[in-house]
């Protein structure tokens, strides 16, 4: 049976960063990630200050090699009608970056593995319980279906808003707002005559005129509906 000081559940950026910091502090650490980092993940913009954090994790050079697209600013609508503009030209760290999240997460986990973190990809937790003296016992199901027993002194719940472990320990979610997130992936479409409808890919999105050239397959996640949540970590 494999034994670690700490098992991090969830292999997104927060879980990976925590694992790198913990292994640097002398702990034995494993990340349990249910994906193999092969599926699309919604991207976002990394603010210019992110370069300092990536440098701290020894991931900055690997990040630059990944070819993310520079971002020179952000325009956002958040709670008010007039847009807010954050122009990075005034930022001492320079430009930001538009992330390919799948590529970004894959790069970070490779850095973690290089730092000494054990990365268990394509692995899910089949059972989890706390046993005396001060030890967690986990049954991990690999992608092949095999079950492996693992022990850890501590667990880190890095499954973000799913809160996989916290919920199983009796924690409940407090809803503070009713925001809805829409994530889109741009795909190339054939030319469409003006004022005619075009069909936008497997998602069945229908668009009009010149917008039919490039449209999106969208995943909509509504906090009011638990079954619509994004699958993360």
Query: Is the pLDDT assigned to residue 152 strictly greater than 90?
Result: yes
Burial 62-99 (b: 16+ CB within 10 A, else e): ebeeeebeebeeeeeeeeeeeeeeeebeeeeeebbbeb
- Return the CATH fold of 1-42+100-173: FAD/NAD(P)-binding domain (3.50.50)
Angle between helices 13-24 and 101-115 (to 10 degrees): 10
Q: What is the pLDDT of residues 73-90, one digit of tens each?
A: 988 877 777 888 889 998
Query: Is the pLDDT assigned to residue 221 strictly greater than 80?
Result: no
Q: Which is more confidently placed, 75 or 156?
A: 156
Confidence (pLDDT) at 199: 38
Q: Are 66 and 103 in contact (CB under 8 A)?
A: yes
Predicted TM-score of the model (pTM): 0.74
Lowest mean pLDDT among 61-65, 104-108, 196-200: 196-200
Q: What is the pLDDT of residues 26-64, one digit of tens each?
A: 999 999 999 998 888 777 889 999 999 999 999 999 999
Helix (H) or strand (E) holding 73: strand 73-76
Confidence (pLDDT) at 186: 62
Count CB neighbours of 140 within 10 A: 20
Query: CA of 191: how far to CAs of 151, 207, 214, in Å?
Result: 57, 12, 9
H helices within the chain, ranges in order? 13-24, 50-56, 60-65, 101-115, 164-168
Q: Where exactly are the structural domains of the chain?
A: 1-42+100-173, 44-98, 180-228
Residue 123's pLDDT band (cuts 50, 70, 90): very high
Q: What is the pLDDT of residues 8-25, one digit of tens each?
A: 999 999 999 999 999 999
């Amino acid at each position: 049976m494999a034994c670690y000081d700490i098992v991090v559940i969830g292999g997104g950026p927060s879980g990976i960063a925590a694992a790198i910091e913990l292994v640097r502090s002398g702990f034995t650490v494993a990340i349990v990630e249910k994906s193999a980092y092969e599926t699309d993940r919604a991207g976002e913009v990394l603010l210019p200050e992110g370069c300092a954090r990536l440098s701290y994790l020894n991931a900055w050079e690997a990040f630059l090699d990944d070819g993310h697209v520079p971002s020179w600013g952000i325009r956002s609508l958040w709670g008010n009608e007039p847009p807010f503009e954050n122009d990075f030209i005034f930022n001492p760290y320079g430009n930001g970056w538009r992330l390919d999240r799948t590529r970004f997460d894959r790069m970070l986990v490779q850095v973690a593995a290089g730092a000494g973190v054990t990365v268990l990809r394509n692995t899910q937790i089949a059972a989890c319980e706390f046993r005396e003296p001060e030890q967690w016992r986990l049954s991990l199901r690999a992608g092949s279906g095999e079950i492996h027993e693992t022990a850890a002194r501590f667990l880190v719940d890095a499954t973000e808003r799913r809160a996989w472990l916290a919920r199983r320990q009796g924690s409940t979610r407090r809803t503070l707002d009713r925001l809805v997130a829409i994530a889109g992936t741009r795909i190339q479409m054939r030319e469409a005559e003006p004022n005619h409808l075009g069909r936008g890919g497997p998602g069945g999105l229908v668009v009009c005129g010149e917008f039919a050239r490039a449209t999106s397959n969208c995943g909509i996640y509504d906090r009011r509906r638990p079954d619509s949540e994004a699958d993360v970590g």
